[in-house]
Amino acid sequence: MVAARRAILIGHPLGHSLSPAFQNAAFRAAGIDAHYALADVPPQDLAATVASLRAANMLGANVTVPYKQDVIPFLDSLSDDARALGAVNTIVNRAGRLHGLNTDVPGFAADLREHGIDVREKCVVMLGAGGAARGVAAALVGMGVTRLVIANRTVARAAAIAAHYPGIAEPTDPGGEGIRERLAGAAALVNATSVGLHGGDMPIDGDALALLPQSATVYDLIYRPTGLLRAAASRGLRAVDGLGMLIHQGALAWEAWTGQPAPLDAMREAAHAARSAR
Ligand code: ATR
């Protein structure tokens, strides 16, 4: 008997995740007999779990916190994006050889395009300088921003990312004066910090939103309405949460596993239903 095909999400700890809902919806919609499951993997089991992806029935995996860098030594090859970022969020089993990709970068870009958010030759202010922010920075620079302001509590971390994009990126203090002028000329403000994940905390002073042009978009990678998004909407600014990015990164992973175009409508519908059910 041929074992059922599988893909897994590797992370630790894995709380509730929307990915199984929309990945399994995609398999169903495409008529593929496969299942996506959560794999909460303690650090001592990471090597064995990644090695298990070489089995013939394994399509591959998504990788999330805290393993996006840690899986790299266990892989056979990396995409250019994954190598440049030093972070893998998708592993594809190519006949027993493991290839690492980063679909967070094109997933974010795809969601901006879908929302009609045009950042080409514009200034964007990004909050945060962790792993998520690295992907967002790469996507924004790839989409042609002329200025990327990286505002982070620990300014040295912002400076470390900015150093990759000389002439485009500049680090700043989110509570300082310099950011005010940048907000006034920004096409978008992107929250890539974890502030707002739980409760209504804001990653930036709410009054600072008044500095943004009325045409600006406030985008939060967190995929539910956050304090930041509510404050933006109440000021009449366009507010976009991170669910679309989550779906797009998942759809690109699914395409890499199956070699087929992702059934995006089915994935969206399942992701929205799963979020509402939480
Ligand atoms: P991820 O991989 O999800 O990006 P991370 O690498 O831990 O997670 O990064 C978390 C980001 O949220 C960082 O930019 C962090 O700021 P510091 O670099 O100064 O730590 C930011 N962050 C987390 N908690 C914060 C808080 N209470 N106030 C301000 N920024 C915070």
Query: Per-residue pLDDT tens for 238-274?
Result: 999 999 999 999 999 999 999 999 999 999 999 999 9
Question: What pLDDT is attached to residue 2?
Answer: 64
Query: Residue 63 forms beta bridges with which residues?
Result: 10
Question: What pLDDT is attached to residue 228?
Answer: 98
pLDDT band at 198 (very low <50, low <70, confident <90, very high): confident
* Ligand 1 mutation target, pool 194, 202, 245, 249, most atoms within 8 A of CB: 194
One-letter identity of residue 100: G
Quote the ligand 1 centre to 74 CA distance (angstroms): 27
Average pLDDT, the chain: 96
pLDDT of residue 3 exceeding 90: no
Question: What pLDDT is attached to residue 144?
Answer: 98
**Does 194 sit in the ligand 1 pocket, CB within 6 Å?**
yes
Specify whether the CB–CB gap between 109 and 143 falls below 8 A: yes
Q: For residue 64, which phi and psi values (nearest 5 degrees)?
A: -130, -170
Q: Per-residue pLDDT tens for 62-71?
A: 999 999 999 9
In our burial notation (b when 16+ CB lie closer than 10 A, e otherwise), range 110-129 reads bbbeeeebebeebbbbbbbb
Specify whether the CB–CB gap between 87 and 68 falls below 8 A: yes
pLDDT of residue 278 exceeding 90: no
What pTM value is reported for the model?
A: 0.96
**What tokens were used for 148?**
């990327």
Which atom of ligand 1 is closest in space to residue 133's alpha carbon? Answer: 4
**Does 160 sit in the ligand 1 pocket, CB within 6 Å?**
no
Which atom of ligand 1 is closest in space to residue 203's alpha carbon? Answer: 29
Burial class (CB in 10 A: 0-12, 13-18, 19+), 180: exposed
Q: Per-residue pLDDT tens for 37-48?
A: 999 999 999 999
Q: Per-residue pLDDT tens for 65-119?
A: 999 999 999 999 999 999 999 999 999 999 999 999 999 999 999 999 999 999 9
Question: What pLDDT is attached to residue 1?
Answer: 55
How long a stretch of residues is the chain?
278
**What tokens were used for 254?**
């699914």
Q: Which helix (H) or strand (E) holds 126?
A: strand 123-127
